[in-house]
Structure 1
Amino acid sequence: MIAGILGGMGPAATAEFYAKLVARTAAERDQDHLRVAIWADPTVPDRVAAVLDGSTDPYPALLAGAEKLRDLGANLIAIPCHTAHFFLNRLAAESGVPFVDMIAETADYLAGRTGPVGLLGTRGTIAAGLYQRGVPGVEWTVPSETGQRNVDAAVAAVKRGDLAGGAEHFDRALADVDAPLSVLACTELPLVAGQAAGVLDPTDLLADAMIRRCGGKPVDARPSG
């Protein structure tokens, strides 16, 4: 099996996801790790704008990336970008390669949970209802407009390499959501979350699912929450 990573959205989040695949694999030697092909294309048009107003169209670039991974021998693909999951089913159908669904993995993890759960993500992810529809039975709490602006600012800070500034905005955004557990529904946010309590990083779940489905063994470490 070859695990494919369709990334570049953004580059730091893609690098972090590959690091998770390595760290979360139970291994004693190099040969215990997955074979991985990474296609990281930071020129993919804005996914948030595509969802909000259709002013961009990232799909052709996403499909081209999935096809490149297929041609490299990838048997299974993960996208470490929440908003790009808007296109997931179409990508799987048209590329002919199965994808691991990060939102479905989160749904399995949160099954049966009661009480409010915060949702910190891009405006595109929230507007598309990816988690609200994809994770049924959860009482989702989204940030106020002020809180969402801090989410936006945290994401933008990571993309320009300002992790300290991103962390400040993230702390404000997390404080804005009144919930004992918050899902980090943007792959830039874990890069500035630090050791924040009460957060769930779905890319941990995505990595574990990829490891299992590619024949590896995940480390016995569950994400926060």
Structure 2
Amino acid sequence: MSLVLGVLGGMGPAATVDFLVKLQALTPAERDRDHIRTIVDINPQVPDRTDPLAKPGPVLAEMAGALQGAGAEVLAIACNTAHAHADLISRSSGLPLIDMIATASAAARDTGAHRAGVLGTRPALKLYREYLAAQGMGLITLEPERQEVFMDLIQRIKSGDVGPAVRAEMAALTVDLAAAGAEAIIAGCTEVPLVMSSGDTRLPFIDAGEALARRCVAVCLGLEPVPAA
């Protein structure tokens, strides 16, 4: 029997579905019952994680508690920025959390890179700076005006625009990061992989959502220790 995974999602919905597709694809299964039981709350009403005046923490905590009550035994958050509330989420549910930012940072380290360029919101970049430093790595970010371009692209993706123009502009941002010294790229916002993959950059490309899905499979199937609650 595998552990039951609870997923806090909806931030945004398409990114959560993308995470679930990767979770299914990465699970070694020959029949239905070999897959991981997953309880998902796709809640697009979570307050804006990038707005300093919004208060998403209590909503995320309530979601986590409800997932625990529904039978989840371990949690994952399908949103990088929401990890700013990871401690509250774990405390409110009493469940261990498989941390996306820690997982993606370790994956960046495993590429042999010393500096990772991260495409993410400002709150997520703050978290990545800390986690990459713990791996002995530096963080490369976009210049302020290019960060604004990135945020505009994320909103366009959330509105359903995943066309060639958005894809080209997102790829161009990785060129900026490479020029600034990045040796690997982390897609540190779950909307990024909806328009970009490893073939769109010459640098090692870490999809944080895919890295999280891979680790969720390992933890839930008992191939890796459960994180401390």
Unaligned runs of 5+ in 2: 225-229
* Count of aligned residue pairs for this structure pair: 212
Q: Aligned equivalents of 1:25 and 1:5: distance in 2?
A: 16
How far residue 111 of structure 1 moved from its aligned partner, in angstroms, is 3.5
How far residue 210 of structure 1 moved from its aligned partner, in angstroms, is 0.8
Q: Map 1:103-114 onto structure 2 (within 5 A).
A: 103-111=101-109, 113-114=112-113
2:35 maps to what in 1? 33
- 1:133 is the counterpart of 2:130: yes
1:95 maps to what in 2? 93
1:12 maps to what in 2? 14
Q: Map 1:75-86 onto structure 2 (within 5 A).
A: 75-86=73-84
Q: Aligned equivalents of 1:99 and 1:150: distance in 2?
A: 32
Q: Map 1:65-214 onto structure 2 (within 5 A).
A: 65-111=63-109, 113-126=112-125, 129-136=126-133, 137-164=136-163, 165-178=165-178, 179-194=182-197, 195-197=199-201, 198=203, 199-214=205-220
Q: Report the AA paired with residue 2 of structure 1.
A: V
How far residue 216 of structure 1 moved from its aligned partner, in angstroms, is 6.6
Q: Aligned equivalents of 2:88 and 2:58: distance in 1?
A: 11
Q: Report the AA paired with residue 170 of structure 1.
A: M
Task: Indicate if the aligned counterparts of 1:150 and 1:172 stay in contact, CA closer than 8 A.
Answer: no
SS of the residue corresponding to residue 154 of structure 1 reads helix
Q: Report the AA paired with residue 118 of structure 1.
A: G
Structure 1 consecutive aligned stretches of length 4 or more whose deviation exceeds 3 Å? 110-115
Unaligned runs of 5+ in 1: 219-225
How far residue 130 of structure 1 moved from its aligned partner, in angstroms, is 0.3
Q: Aligned equivalents of 1:10 and 1:62: distance in 2?
A: 14
TM-score (norm 1): 0.88
Task: Indicate if the aligned counterparts of 1:154 and 1:167 stay in contact, CA closer than 8 A.
Answer: no
Q: CA RMSD in A?
A: 1.8
1:45 maps to what in 2? 47
Offset from partner CA, 1:145-202 (integer Å, 9 cap, x none): 2321221122111110000143133122212112231111000001111432322111
Q: Report the AA paired with residue 185 of structure 1.
A: G
How far residue 134 of structure 1 moved from its aligned partner, in angstroms, is 1.3
Task: Indicate if the aligned counterparts of 2:10 and 2:44 stay in contact, CA closer than 8 A.
Answer: yes
Task: Indicate if the aligned counterparts of 2:107 and 2:206 stay in contact, CA closer than 8 A.
Answer: no
TM-score (norm 2): 0.87
Offset from partner CA, 1:22-49 (integer Å, 9 cap, x none): 0111111111110010001000000011
